[in-house]
């Protein structure tokens, strides 16, 4: 029996095969619920990673290949940081209940 990975949104019930994806995934429906600027930034990181992959496969110069792989790894790190700091908290942070403490916090007291 193959294990399944759930979408990072706790309210979503979609799952994915464990062999095909990493330990955390987001379904298309939940990804589209993110703000547009977040989606564009995430897609731009993936676009840049694919660009460096294609360029490194086309060249034969070993020095250029190592530089391109280093650039790709740097962008991959930024993608991971974006995932951990922007996308995951969007779904996993609980909303504050409206009460006296949150009202006073909003007012600045």
**pLDDT tens per residue across span 43-53:** 999 999 999 99
DSSP codes of every residue in the chain: ---EEEBSSTT---EEETTTS-S-B--HHHHHTS-HHHHHHHHHHHHHHHHHHHHHHH---HHHHHHHHHHHHHHHHHHHHHIIIIIHHHHHSPPPPPSHHHHHHHHT-
pLDDT confidence of residue 4 = 86
Full-model pTM: 0.76
Beta bridge partners of 102: none
Q: Assign 1 a pLDDT band (cuts: 50, 70, 90).
A: very low
**pLDDT tens per residue across span 61-70:** 899 999 999 9
Sign of CA dihedral 13, 19, 21, 24: positive
């Amino acid at each position: 029996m193959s294990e399944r990975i759930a979408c990072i949104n706790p309210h979503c019930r979609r799952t994915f095969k464990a062999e095909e994806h990493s330990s955390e995934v987001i379904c298309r429906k939940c990804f589209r619920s993110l703000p547009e600027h977040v989606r564009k930034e995430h897609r731009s990181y993936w676009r840049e990673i694919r660009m460096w992959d294609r360029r490194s496969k086309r060249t034969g110069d070993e020095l250029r290949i190592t530089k391109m792989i280093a650039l790709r790894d740097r962008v991959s790190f930024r993608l991971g940081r974006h995932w951990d700091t922007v996308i995951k908290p969007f779904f996993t942070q609980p909303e504050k209940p409206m009460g006296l403490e949150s009202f006073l916090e909003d007012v600045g007291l």
